[in-house]
Amino acid sequence: MNKYGDWFIMLIAGGLLVFWLLWVFYRWLHQPLGMNRLTLGKGAKLSPDDENIIFLESAGYEVLSGKHRVPITIGLDGNLLESRLYIDYIAEQDGSLYIVKTARDRMPMDWTGSGVRDRLFVYSLLLPECDGVLFVDVKEQIIRKITFQFAE
């Protein structure tokens, strides 16, 4: 009887090992090891009198979090440079998640294909689980929804 108990424990241990190896292989197959995923925390505290938040909420969006600072280290000819990207807000509407960028007077938006790509495409790549980027201009009272798709 003791002999069968040992075999049973070895069978369970072997099954767990095979399950773990399949799980590691599945993760490796669907997400390469070199890919670092950005996960956003709470972000900055939301101000109830912020005109951008009020405008987004009046348009039916729910603002989930405030400003996020995403640090970036850049290697340039063996030297390390420090930079950052800022996400103004994360908003949701009808189950769709959006990155929000707000208009700045000192950085006017070029509404051509290349202008939008150069300025906003990086945010779409940064958080691919988001459904797009919202560009909010409170002065003009406009919210533009930008999505990016790769042509085949």
Please answer whether residues 61 and 91 qualify as being in contact, where contact means their C-beta atoms are separated by less than 8 angstroms.
yes
d(CA 65, CA 90): 5
User: What distance in Å separates the CA atoms of residue 7 and residue 4, rounded to the nearest whole number?
Assistant: 5
In tens, the pLDDT along 1-41 reads 567 778 888 899 999 999 999 998 888 777 654 545 556 66
Listed by start position, the domains of the chain span 1-35, 51-146
The token duo for 145 is 């929804």
How many angstroms separate the CA atoms of 44 and 7, rounded?
56
Cβ atoms of 113 and 79 within 8 Å: the answer is no
Q: Write down the pTM of the prediction.
A: 0.71
Query: In sequence order, which ranges of the chain are alpha helices (DSSP H)?
Result: 2-30, 51-58, 113-126
Q: What is the distance between the alpha carbons of residues 41 and 68, in angstroms, rounded to a whole number?
A: 8
A 10 A CB-CB count for 100 gives: 25
What are the tokens at 72?
């970036």
pLDDT of 33 reads 47
CA distance 140 to 135: 11
Q: pLDDT tens-digit profile of 54-104? A: 999 999 999 988 888 888 899 999 999 999 989 999 999 998 999 999 999
